[in-house]
């Protein structure tokens, strides 16, 4: 079961807004459908957003009628900018779109460019599966059989091509016959932890316990949580990490309880152009996400502040787990080395 799939005339996505009640696939037939699915969180999670946008751009380009390369590039740039306007925080969105733009910079014909875009988008998805598996293997090296590990939001298989980032060690542990106990924070306001992580892990046969967000401190203490692992939407050059709202609070609690706090993310989430967390744009979403749950109003019509992400300062992060390995501390020096090619 794939969260995103290319079908030549359309893209299918697993509708993450319908979970856990319904396992429903939606067909995205044009660029507007793609933009809308990203904005409304039908597809979500940094790598899945990047993959979907890449397919969306390839799909849009397929429909261009021009044979003129300059005109093709102008239309492509317009559509790249439109898709880039869907969500501001996850850098994978811009990374994937720009990777597609670069792939056709030297195309010799419109037809060649159209084929290249599709090929490049498929490569992003295929590579992500391998990347996530590697992240999972590295993450697993940090854990012992029987560990109790807390997470927030959903950085799982449905947010990536497969396995997930923060959830990859749980899936791999299961494959290898090792037991890891997951503690999933429900993740208000949109409940990615309750609706998605607890669904995904229980479907996979992983032992998962759901808590509300305000139970994190008590759970760390009473259940002797071994570690916290979270995904990321953007990691700045100094290691400051934007992830789902509530992550920063968990990092502070982990520090108070002397529990390791890990960030698991692919290189495509590391943004060396963004110097510190203060430079990461934080998405603010509609007030109804806070005043309502499942379409039912739970609060009067008052002012609401609804940041979708927060930034965990690098000094609270024990290690950053990537497909190239784990780095501990001094992120400013070590993050750029991950991008260096290793020649055997």
Burial (Cβ within 10 Å: 0-12, 13-18, ≥19) of residue 18: middle
For the segment 248-287, give every residue that binds ligand MRU (CB under 6 A).
Answer: none
87 is in an annotated binding site: yes
User: Under the criterion CB under 6 A, does residue 46 sit at the interface with ligand MRU?
Assistant: yes
Strands (E), the chain: 4-6, 11-14, 25-28, 148-151, 181-185, 208-211, 227-230, 234-236, 241-244, 261-264, 270-271, 292-293, 296-297, 309-312, 319-322, 325-327
Site size with ligand MRU, rule: CB under 6 A: 18
Catalytic residues: 233
Which residue's entry shows tokens 């959903």? 154
For the segment 84-103, give every residue that binds ligand MRU (CB under 6 A).
Answer: 90
For the segment 171-200, give every residue that binds ligand MRU (CB under 6 A).
Answer: 192
How many helices (H) and strands (E) are present in the chain, helices listed first?
11, 16
Which C-beta is closer to ligand MRU: that of 160 or that of 219? 160
Among 3, 31, 37, 45, binds ligand MRU (CB under 6 A): 45
Least distance CB 87 / ligand MRU (angstroms): 7
Which C-beta is closer to ligand MRU: that of 44 or that of 314? 44
Burial (Cβ within 10 Å: 0-12, 13-18, ≥19) of residue 334: middle
> How many CA atoms are closer than 13 Å to the CA of 38, on its beta-carbon side?
28
Among 76, 159, 173, 317, binds ligand MRU (CB under 6 A): 159
**Residues 266 and 165 sit within 8 Å (Cβ to Cβ):** yes
Among 42, 44, 80, 314, binds ligand MRU (CB under 6 A): 44
User: Under the criterion CB under 6 A, does residue 314 sit at the interface with ligand MRU?
Assistant: no
277 is in an annotated binding site: no
User: Under the criterion CB under 6 A, does residue 233 sit at the interface with ligand MRU?
Assistant: yes
DSSP assignment letter at 167: T
45 is in an annotated binding site: yes
Q: Give the binding site for ligand MRU (CB under 6 A).
A: 44-47, 90, 153, 155, 159-160, 164-165, 192, 231-233, 243-244, 308
């Amino acid at each position: 079961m794939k969260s995103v799939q290319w079908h030549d005339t359309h893209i299918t996505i697993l509708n993450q807004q319908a979970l856990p009640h319904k396992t429903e696939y939606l067909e995205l037939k044009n660029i507007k459908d793609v933009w809308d699915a990203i904005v409304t969180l039908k597809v979500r999670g940094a790598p899945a957003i990047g993959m979907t946008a890449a397919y969306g751009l390839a799909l849009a380009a397929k429909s261009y009628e021009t044979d003129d390369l300059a005109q093709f590039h102008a239309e492509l740039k317009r559509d790249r900018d439109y898709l880039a306007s869907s969500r501001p925080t996850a850098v994978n969105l811009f990374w994937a779109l720009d990777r597609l733009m670069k792939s056709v910079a030297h195309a010799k014909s419109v037809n060649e460019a159209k084929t290249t875009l599709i090929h490049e988008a498929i490569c992003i998805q295929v590579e992500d599966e391998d990347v996530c598996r590697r992240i999972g293997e590295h993450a697993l090296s940090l854990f012992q059989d029987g560990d109790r590990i807390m997470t927030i939001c959903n950085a799982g298989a449905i947010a990536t091509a497969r396995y997930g980032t923060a959830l990859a060690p749980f899936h791999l542990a299961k494959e290898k016959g090792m037991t890891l106990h997951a503690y999933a924070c429900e993740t208000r306001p949109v409940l990615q932890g309750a609706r998605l992580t607890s669904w995904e892990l229980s479907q996979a046969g992983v032992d998962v316990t759901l808590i509300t967000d305000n139970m994190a401190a008590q759970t760390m203490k009473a259940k002797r949580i071994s570690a916290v692992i979270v995904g990321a939407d953007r990691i700045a050059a100094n290691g400051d990490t934007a992830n789902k709202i509530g992550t920063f609070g968990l990092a502070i609690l982990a520090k108070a309880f002397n529990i390791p706090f890990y960030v698991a993310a692919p290189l495509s989430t590391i943004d060396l152009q963004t110097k510190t967390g203060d430079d990461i744009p934080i998405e603010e979403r509609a007030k109804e996400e806070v005043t309502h749950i499942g379409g039912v109003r739970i609060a009067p019509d008052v002012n609401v502040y609804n940041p979708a992400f927060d930034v965990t300062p690098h000094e609270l992060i024990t290690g950053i787990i990537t497909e190239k390995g784990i780095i501990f501390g001094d992120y400013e020096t070590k993050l750029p080395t991950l991008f260096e090619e290793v020649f055997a």
